Structure 1
Amino acid sequence: MFDIPPCNRTDVRVQWGSPLPRGCSEVRRLVPVDPDPRCVRGGVMSSTQGSARQVREAVDAAMVVDRAGWSGAARSAEVVELLAAQERLSALVMAVVGEWDRDAAWALDGSVSPVAWLAHRTPVTRQDAASLVRSARHVARHEATAKALDAGDVTAAHVQVAARATKHRDDLYTEHETVLLDAARSLDPSAFRSAMAHWRRCADAVDDHDKAVKEITGSYLDIVATFEGVGHLDGRLDPVSTATLTRVVDRMEPPDGFDGITAPRTRAQRRADALVRLASGERPPQINLDITVDIDTLAGRPSLDLTSGCCEIAGSGPLSPAVAAMLACDAAIGRVLMRGDSEVLDVGRQTRMLNRAQRRALGIRDGGCVEPGCTAPAEWCDAHHITHWTAHGPTDLSNLELRCRRHHILQHQRDLHAALRARRQE
């Protein structure tokens, strides 16, 4: 626990006596500029309660705003404002819950834990309550993380990822807090989750070998049929088997096209259909798995530099370095060694046309569609020339990127419109 100086700050962005706002953007203005947990200890809990009450009233007022004539741009702006307000509220909630938990205020009415109190007295599930308490305690224990969250440098989602990944490794997180926060500032929560998974695997390197053996030998699959004949599957697969099965079933049953009549199947439904097709004897598609691992990690010298060290199945997720070492001699597994600067080393000779080696390297580098917000995996993507081939652009990795079919077409439309605008200006 770190020392917290007295705080007498009570100001917020608007005066409490101002009229209720009429738009969602006003909700954000009612959130304290800096939801500092020190204010609670400074004797201004009433101001925090007043802030919460005002925000709730503002939300109620925003709910009845007539948005019938709003343009798409106006609606988009309101969505951004609302999510920004939600993020600030999440930071405030973590700060207040951390202080509330520290003082054990949840025990005053006989509750056995803060999670039980929250699940009983607030509209959150027990699972969400546990996540909130875990994150709040993480913020309360780490001053730099608390400051980064207060400043908006990292989000509540980043904190949740860090709190979950640092279980039983809190002291090590304190030691590496600066580099981990730097990673969080430059990565979205999903990418930060992968970075924290790599950090955790490095932290667990001491007993990694025993875990690797369990990962590879601990697979099982149970199939139980009900009285009605409905089957329920339960199982566990090692990381490589998981990636292999996932790639096969997803490639056998790609997303349905929309015909306006039949509702498209969910991903889970498509996978179930593909599994039945496999069991019926249908030949599975040919797939390759690429395990990317930097040389130091493969040699047993894992780095805690989240920007350089990597050990993962491309497109699937992190892999234990010990498992990678066990698999490194298997000819059925594709191997691409990476230097610390992420330069691809052994993908074969460069050719004028896009070859298989370049395609593999491109999939490992980009991981999927490069369009912001798109999650299409590499196998669903086209290789796009950034400078078009017709404009003398080379077929080289530096001039290639992965785009799903939709965003590939969209990018060509963007380039066409840009060229037309340039011609008009000439």
Structure 2
Amino acid sequence: MHLLTDTAGAVQGMLKSVADLDPVFIPAEEKGAALLAWVDVETQVAELRLRCMASAGDAAAAEGFHSVAAWLAHHGRVRRSDAAADLRLAEALDRDLPLLAAGLREARVNLAQARVIAAAVGELPDRVGRDVVAKAEAELVRLAGEHDPKDLAVLGRRILEIVDPERFEDEERRKLEEAEKRARERQRLRIRAVGDGTTRISGVLPDAVAARLATYLHAFTNPRLADGAVRRTSGDSGDQEGGRAQASASPSAHPRRLAEAFGQLLETLDPKRLPIHGGDATNLTVVLSFEALRSGLGVATLGNGVPGDGFDRITAGEARRLACNAQIIPAVLGTDSELLDVGRASRLFTKGQRRALLLRDASCRAEGCSIPGTWSEAHHLLPWGHGGCSDLDNGVLLCSRHHHRAHDAAYDMTRMANGDYRFARRR
């Protein structure tokens, strides 16, 4: 019988001799030493097992198994994924990582650290050369004497910078260029109407694009100001802001605010800077009846030039709200669907008027709301459909939430003595 088999049997016999030993009776100073000693033994036994595994392909083939991992999963009753991971490590130690194998054999590196080191060395590009790979392996084995697997993984991602700083700069540039190229090839965006008044947007974007979008959205979602506004209005039961304050603490509050910010971002885009689309700047045409325009009741159709996309119907009330600040063009129909008027976006407040409103109002003029005026929208007090003009006397700054309420038939909007507006749910 081979020495390895004899040794395994001897170890099992020694373990049986201490099977009934209760460590609770060992003196405290000896317990720590015993614990560390058995960690080292476990590491050395694992290295020996991996060494046997790397050369046991013939044993697996003799029984018709396609790999040692499959053979071990069957006979050793272990998970196939664990056996496959062990085989990869065993082959790497046997073929490419002699210093790491020696570190395991001498218990200077434990098994978890060895997996981290093997992964870090394996991620080095082939073009760096064998000498650099050997330096990286040696340095990580040395660092294993001072760092746990988690910290070692962080160092492993920077190992090329540690052992060859000059080459690291070039490799980092190459890696980023390849990542950016893959990102451009993989980028996708899907917009699909669900059919219940919502549309699902999903996609994969390059990091740079996602970072810009996140920056823009966070400009609308200052949590300190938004939460302060909610707290100040939470006592108004008629406005039902107390529920909003509770909702702001829920995990879904921030994603909801990001969705609201996305809508605000779209409404603040300058159409003059967008590509020409269908012979005009990229505008949105809303088709609705004259009566719906005046009353805010009924529905409107979005003429967005993209047939069959599924999101082409909104309420007339939403169309009236958009008319305050979005670049939409109303196409008004009479009783027999004859085209009465195709309006222009000239009813929007001008930049000068916006600046004047900002100087006058400074922030959202809803009672208790302190959302900055730069984040707010200009609202027509007398709707455009009722003959309201785009002048300062007919305008007020409202944040997106209160602007929606101004166009919500379920709420009354009342001017207070100080010029603020109070919203109360109609009973």
**Which is greater in Rg?**
2
Q: Going by fraction, where is strand more abundant, 1 or 2? A: 2
